[in-house]
Structure 1
Amino acid sequence: MDKTAALAALAALGQDTRLEIFRLLVRAGADGIPAGEIATRLGTVQNTTSTHLKTLGHAGLVRAERDGRTIRYFADMMGFRDLLAFLMEDCCNGAPELCQPAIEAITCGC
């Protein structure tokens, strides 16, 4: 991930509703959530939720899959891992083994 992509991801997560959407999708895991259900769960308007999902998608944090007539959204964990890797790239003044506990804590099998 480059600096421009990292800034886009951080900006996307820097808005309250988008952060809530991303966290909701992380909790949903591999099942994902249909767009309408995301809006219902968060108490937001569907077209506004769609705009937020598009922003998160452009930032590489959310992906969409068609499921019949429904679009199901998922947290893009590879995009999130890339963001975390970028942020921790130069950690610990050249001694990355010092960051290993933090890296292990954020690594999941998803």
Structure 2
Amino acid sequence: MNEQQALTAFAALSQETRLRIVRLLVTAGPDGMAAGAIGEAMDASSSRMSFHLSHLEHAGLIGSRREGRSIIYSATYPALSGLVEFLMRDCCQGHPEVCQPAVAALSCCDPITSDAHA
């Protein structure tokens, strides 16, 4: 992720409803949620929800797909990971203890292991 992409992502996340939507979709997992369910969870009108979802999609933080009559939105995990990586890229500068709190915050995630090294 470059600086311009990070600025666009942060601008999209700087609004309360959009930040809450992204957090909701991260929790929902890769299957995502229907637009109507997101609107219900956010207690927002469909026109406002459409505006916020469009803004997040334009920023590359969420994606959408059509399933029948529904539009399903899901978090774009590579973009979100890229944003975290952008922030942490130069964090420790030879002092790994500086980054330890951020690494510990991700301890809920199991590292992906590859059978290629087995």
Give the shorter-chain TM-score range. 0.7 to 0.9
Is 1:39 aligned to 2:39, yes or no?
yes
Larger CA Rg, structure 1 vs 2:
2
**Residue in structure 2 matched with residue 95 of structure 1 by the alignment:** 94
Deviation at 1:58, TM superposition (A): 1.3
Give the structure-2-normalised TM-score. 0.82
Give the structure-1-normalised TM-score. 0.87
Equivalent-residue separation in structure 1 for 2:81 and 2:8 (angstroms): 15
Aligned to 1:57, the other structure's residue is in SS state helix
Equivalent-residue separation in structure 2 for 1:67 and 1:100 (angstroms): 41
* Unpaired segments ≥5 residues, structure 1: none
Query: What stretches of structure 1 move > 4 A for 4+ residues in a row?
Result: none
Deviation at 1:70, TM superposition (A): 0.8
**Residue in structure 1 matched with residue 3 of structure 2 by the alignment:** 3
* Unpaired segments ≥5 residues, structure 2: 113-118
Give aligned-pair identity as a percent.
46
Give the aligned CA root-mean-square deviation in angstroms.
2.0
Q: Which has the higher helix share?
A: 1
